[in-house]
Amino acid sequence: MDATKPIGYWLKHLDNLLERQFDATLADLGIGRRHWQLLNTLSRGPASREELTHALAPFWQAGAAEPAEVLDGPGNSLTARGWATTGGQKIALTAEGRAAHARIADRIAHSRRTVLGELTPEQYTATVRTLSFMAANVEADLASGGRPA
């Protein structure tokens, strides 16, 4: 490991690796990370399109499939697979969707254990806390105009 590289490098590098890991973990199912994120969010209960869009906004990158495409587009969307229903105001998992979530959750848990490796729960918590402080610092700076005084 080259600890001399700046945090931005490691954040981007880790994010790219996580994308690749999700792709590898879910490839045989014909789904990706965005499918999992929608499936996992809906596993907590029905949600409107607006609620889903808001909850998942930080994860959707320009050029990626739109949430509506992953949710109810043709092909391998959640509704096309019979995993979700989109009728009415709320979108909900079907019984088949809940079963799929349970199966996929086991794979995701394994991937997460791989990412954490030998980190203790305290180290993980400290890392997340540090990143949240850094994000808050940048948000505050941007809100104030982002220029030195």
Q: Encode pLDDT of 72-100 as tens digits.
A: 888 889 999 999 998 788 999 999 999 99
Tokens standing for 7?
């945090």
What is the band of 36 on the pLDDT scale with cuts at 50, 70, 90?
A: very high
Tokens standing for 16?
């790219």
Q: pTM of this prediction?
A: 0.80
pLDDT at 142: 92
